[in-house]
Amino acid sequence: MNLQEKMFEELKTKEIFEQARSYAFEYAGQIEKMRVFPTQENLDQLKNFEEKMPEHPTAANAVLEQLHRLGSPGTIAQTGGRYFGFVNGGAVPVAIATKWLSDFWDQCGGLYVASPINAKLESVCETWLKEIFNLPKQTVAGFTSGTSMANFCALTAARYRLLKNLGWDINEEGFYGAPKLKIIAHKEVHASIVKTLVLLGFARKNVTWIDVDGQGRMLVDQLPELDNGTLVLLQAGNVNSGSYDYFDAICDKANEAGAWVHIDGAFGLWAAASKSLCHLTKGMEKASSWAVDGHKTLNTPYDSGIVLCKDPDALITALQTHGEYLIYTEKREPILYTTEMSKRGRAIELWATLKYLGKSGVDAMVTGFHEKAKLLAEQLKASGYHIRNKVVFNQVVVACDTEAETKQILEYVQQSGECWCGGSTWNGESVIRVSVCSWATTDEDIERTARVFVAARKIVGKMET
């Protein structure tokens, strides 16, 4: 049997798919019992993947067996309820099931003729997202790998439009001799925004950096004069504190001057879907573009980013795609709204998640993150920890009496296997950053996490004495 015949046989018998299913179910069944971060022994086992490229084909069942035996124990249990590290959401079960199905479809989502179902669901998701976020009717959406790429798409559109405002077509003329744009951002802007500015040729030193208040929000009274060649970068959900910039006031000033406002809302934009939290995003609909993730707060599987832009012409023209072989129809063409020509059908599991949850489900999940973050903050404060931020959404910034104690406790918590959270620097101080963002997190998970912190304080205290 040659290799092609072998693969046809594998499709026919479905044995390897049953094997993969059994491994997946085994993994899902033990997720709450797993260490949140692998043991050193499990990490050391990953070295077994370091081998020479096989000269001949390997049996499919052996490939899967090795991956499960060595790979599963080397994963982070982020789909469980006690991963509070980076803002990596869990994955809603129906979205995982949808991804399994769509993986069999293996759609190339760039063109309508390459995947009518993906193009249709992108259109549906675009409509639903505009409704959830209360965005202008003319807003269009592009579906990307994450907010980093969504930011890139949005700022590419902003660069095109602002230079056009000044009489310059960057697509035709390039950067040489182009008018200089004003770039305004505050000092707590996310790293992906800085990265995007560098990639687009603006460089860090050309940014006017605005001071922030104690929660990481741009100080409105420090805004310089704005005009139609100005890009203002705001944030929905500070990466540490979870705070929101003052969209209403800043957007009003920007719109009056003809400036472009972009809001980086990777996890925080979803507060707009919560009846009790939507006040945090007041005025965000006045911006020009937005970036948000599905795989964070909405809990879709990886990867799922979304760029939203109320200037369709700027987005499409800036991300221009031409080719004699490309077949455009009168239908929605996904390729027009992102940088990618070949891309997976991300909108499929995004649609499934939104369809499954509905407005009330999204509201309940998003609001639940906030309630559990507040619960954890209260329990940690009661046990002697310092909470450095106002818990406005899902972020809790924790500190101890000394820098050394904070770092030691973070190390203990991370090595405990009970939960996992990351470290950061906030207002010049080393802190522990807790992000509550999984549907699977229960009140019991919060209490277990609080107990780990209490135990850590006792152990570290003994070490110091």
| Domain boundaries along the sequence of the chain | 3-74, 99-353, 363-464
| pLDDT tens-digit series, residues 314-343 | 999 999 877 788 888 999 999 999 999 899
pLDDT value at residue 1: 87
Q: Which residues contact 274 (CB under 8 A, 6 or more apart)?
A: 363, 366, 367, 370
Give CA angle at 155 (149, 160), nearest 5°.
130
Pick out the chain residues at pLDDT < 50: 465
Give pLDDT tens digits for 165-180: 999 999 999 999 999 9
SS3 category, 1: coil
Please provide the DSSP assignment of 333-393 as one string. -GGGGSS-SS-B-THHHHHHHHHHHHHHHHHHHHHHHHHHHHHHHHHHHHTT-EE-S--SS
User: What is the fold of 363-464?
Assistant: Aspartate Aminotransferase, domain 1 (3.90.1150)
CATH class, 99-353 region: alpha beta
Amino acid 464: pLDDT: 56
Sequence-distant (≥ 6) Cβ neighbours of residue 407 within 8 angstroms: 423, 430
187, 190, 188, 185: which is closest to 86 by C-alpha? Answer: 190
